């Protein structure tokens, strides 16, 4: 897929057997922040001085999306202690400026360049686009996170490019984040009041079933009307400006959230402008964008969970959550030879398939006898990690297997003996690159 690479600084282990066995809940704090890290000569801020100051203040936030993290990336990370941090894609003109710092494990990471940009405002100077990530909370609940930076400027070409940007990220999320709890946040260069941009935002929100944290919490659910006067924030805020005033205006930075099949609740419950936490000694902002914080409160589903995966960050991301919720698996097929080539299964009368056409197929009837255990072995092929072996065992002890075992194997088991397999999540291409089970209380 164009513009994608896999270079998370911390290579996370996925060899855990933990799985959510009952509904759990919690909350975490997001920060969306364009850090104005263009080279000093191009930046409207003072990044060589301000970036180290920003770095030392990121600790209170669980997950942070930054934009314009270009030529001062090392300084941004220098005083930060988040466990998982994406590696820079490069300074100007090589990198996108997008990065994420997280206390939750980053399982997957894709970088995607926008299909369209407009030449003014330097939008085509760097490969601007968006990042896709799949994160795992400490208790085993997963969600998808997008970080983005859209085309800047206010002429017709800019608005046309942004309309394309919105459509591109929406289509990607529709294809890759089906049924997943979802957060899209970053610098959209868009306001609800704009006839073109406001329509694009609304279309994405509606299509993906998102809630805008600012609209929901600062405006009681009512976005500014199309064609209305833009609620532009003063810059900087006067000293002593209260929080209600700071969130009354609309920034171009957005935080969009939705729940998924594995969460009964996944919603923004607090929204703040963190201006006062990111000021220099003279009381001036450390960037030309305001930092926005959102608290997400969540409760996991008591009937559908994602088990931990085995495999590597290659191939295309998939999730069966939207298709398998409330359904039962009746047949399971795995194809393999030296490795696992593909899996397919009938769920609720629909056949779902992932992987290629190679290998020999073996099928197991699981009607009334759900799969409760998976043994997965991984190895290297052409310097990429793939799933080499799969052994599925049903509640009654029937088995089906394909591929070849390696020394790197894990077993993934259903939360209890009454649960069973209804689908998968992971990555695939011509073969299976990553596999994680989806367990249901009504298999």
Q: What is the pLDDT of residues 30-45, one digit of tens each?
A: 999 999 999 987 887 8
Q: Considering only CA atoms, give the Rg of the chain.
A: 23
Six-digit token string for 354: 């992932």
Residue finishing a domain among 280, 300, 320: 300
Specify the 3-state DSSP secondary structure of 216: helix
pLDDT for position 256: 99
Read off the pTM.
Answer: 0.94
82 and 40 share one domain = yes
285 and 311 share one domain = no
204 and 329 share one domain = no
Interval 105-122 mean pLDDT:
94
Residue 443 · residue 415 · CB < 8 Å:
no
User: Taking 90 as the threshold, does the pLDDT of residue 140 lie above it?
Assistant: no
Distance of CA 47 to the CA centre of its chain: 27
Residue finishing a domain among 256, 281, 300: 300
- What are residue 436's DSSP bridge partners? 425
Neighbouring residues of 397: CB distance < 8 A, sequence distance ≥ 6: none
182 and 236 share one domain = yes
Interval 376-400 mean pLDDT:
98
pLDDT (tens digit per residue) in 268-293: 999 999 999 999 999 999 999 999 99
Six-digit token string for 191: 């306001």
Token match 């997001």: residue? 30
Interval 405-420 mean pLDDT:
97
pLDDT (tens digit per residue) in 166-175: 999 999 999 9
C-alpha distances (whole Å) from 406 to each of 68, 117, 386, 393, 432 are: 43, 46, 11, 19, 15
67 and 153 share one domain = yes
Which 3-state string (H, E, C) describes 22-52? CCCEEEEEEEEEECCCCCCCCCCCCHHHHHH
363 and 404 share one domain = yes
pLDDT (tens digit per residue) in 175-195: 999 999 999 999 999 999 999
pLDDT for position 120: 83
* DSSP-derived secondary structure letter, 308: P
Strands 253-258 and 292-300: unpaired
User: Taking 90 as the threshold, does the pLDDT of residue 255 lie above it?
Assistant: yes
Interval 343-362 mean pLDDT:
97
273 and 339 share one domain = no
What's the CATH number where 175 sits? 3.60.10.10
| Residue 361 is assigned to a structural domain of this protein | yes
197 and 249 share one domain = yes
| Residue 410 is assigned to a structural domain of this protein | yes
| Residue 334 is assigned to a structural domain of this protein | yes
For the chain, the average pLDDT equals 94
- In terms of Cβ atoms closer than 10 Å to its own Cβ (0-12, 13-18, 19+), residue 322 is middle
36 and 182 share one domain = yes
User: Taking 70 as the threshold, does the pLDDT of residue 46 lie above it?
Assistant: yes
Residue finishing a domain among 300, 326, 360: 300
Report the candidate in 30, 310, 24, 311 with the shortest Cα–Cα distance to residue 139.
24
Interval 99-115 mean pLDDT:
98
| Residue 10 is assigned to a structural domain of this protein | no
Token match 């399982």: residue? 107
Cα–Cα distance measured from residue 129 to residue 112, given in angstroms and rounded to the nearest whole number: 6
Cα–Cα distance measured from residue 352 to residue 354, given in angstroms and rounded to the nearest whole number: 7
Cα–Cα distance measured from residue 218 to residue 249, given in angstroms and rounded to the nearest whole number: 9
Interval 58-85 mean pLDDT:
98
For residues 243, 247, 248 and 250, what is the CA-based torsion angle, rounded to 10 degrees? 160
262 and 115 share one domain = yes
pLDDT for position 13: 37
pLDDT for position 327: 93
285 and 158 share one domain = yes
What's the CATH number where 351 sits? 2.100.10.30
Cα–Cα distance measured from residue 232 to residue 292, given in angstroms and rounded to the nearest whole number: 15
Residue 147 · residue 89 · CB < 8 Å:
no
In 114-155, alpha helices (H): none
Domain assignment of residue 426, given as a range = 304-440
Q: How many domains are there within the chain?
A: 2
| Residue 6 is assigned to a structural domain of this protein | no
pLDDT for position 20: 45
Band (5; pLDDT cuts 50, 70, 90): very low
| Residue 9 is assigned to a structural domain of this protein | no
| Residue 144 is assigned to a structural domain of this protein | yes
| Residue 15 is assigned to a structural domain of this protein | no
310 and 273 share one domain = no
pLDDT for position 23: 59
Strands 99-102 and 142-149: unpaired
């Amino acid at each position: 897929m164009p513009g994608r690479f896999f270079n998370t600084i911390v290579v996370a282990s996925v060899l855990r057997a933990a799985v959510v066995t009952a509904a759990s809940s919690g909350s975490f704090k997001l920060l969306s922040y364009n850090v104005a890290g263009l080279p000093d000569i191009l930046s409207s801020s003072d990044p060589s001085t301000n970036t180290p100051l920003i770095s030392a203040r990121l600790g209170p936030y669980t997950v942070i999306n930054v934009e314009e993290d270009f030529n001062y990336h090392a300084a941004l990370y220098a005083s930060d202690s988040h466990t998982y941090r994406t590696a820079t894609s490069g300074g100007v003109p090589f990198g996108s400026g997008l990065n994420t710092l997280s206390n939750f494990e980053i399982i997957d990471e894709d970088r995607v360049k926008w299909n369209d940009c407009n030449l003014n405002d330097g939008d085509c100077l760097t490969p601007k686009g968006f990042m896709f990530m799949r994160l795992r909370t400490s208790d085993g609940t997963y969600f998808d996170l997008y970080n983005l930076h859209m085309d800047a400027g206010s002429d017709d070409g800019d608005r046309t490019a942004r309309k394309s940007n919105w459509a591109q990220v929406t289509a990607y999320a529709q294809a890759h984040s089906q049924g997943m709890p979802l957060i899209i946040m970053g610098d959209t260069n868009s306001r609800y009041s704009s006839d073109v941009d406001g329509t694009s935002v609304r279309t994405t929100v509606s299509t993906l079933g998102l809630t805008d944290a600012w609209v929901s919490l600062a405006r009681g659910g009512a976005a500014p009307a199309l064609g209305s006067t833009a609620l532009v924030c003063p810059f900087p805020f006067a000293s002593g400006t209260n929080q209600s005033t700071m969130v009354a205006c609309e920034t171009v930075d957005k935080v969009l959230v939705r729940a998924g099949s594995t969460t009964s609740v996944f919603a923004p419950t607090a929204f703040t402008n963190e201006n006062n936490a990111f000021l220099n000694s003279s009381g001036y902002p450390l960037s030309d964008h305001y930092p926005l914080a959102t608290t997400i409160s969540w409760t996991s589903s008591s009937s559908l969970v994602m088990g931990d995966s085995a495999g590597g960050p290659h191939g295309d991301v998939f999730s069966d959550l939207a298709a398998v919720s409330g359904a039962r698996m009746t047949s399971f097929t795995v194809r393999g030879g030296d490795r696992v080539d593909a899996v397919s299964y009938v769920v609720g009368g629909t056949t779902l398939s992932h992987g290629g056409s190679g290998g020999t197929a073996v099928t197991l009837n699981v009607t009334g006898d759900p799969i409760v255990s998976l043994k997965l072995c991984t190895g290297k092929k052409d310097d990429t990690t793939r799933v080499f072996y799969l052994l599925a065992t049903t509640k009654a002890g029937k088995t089906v297997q394909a591929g070849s075992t390696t020394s790197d194997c894990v077993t993934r088991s259903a939360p209890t003996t009454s649960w069973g397999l209804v689908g998968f999540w992971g990555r695939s291409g011509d073969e299976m690159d990553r596999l994680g089970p989806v367990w249901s209380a009504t298999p």
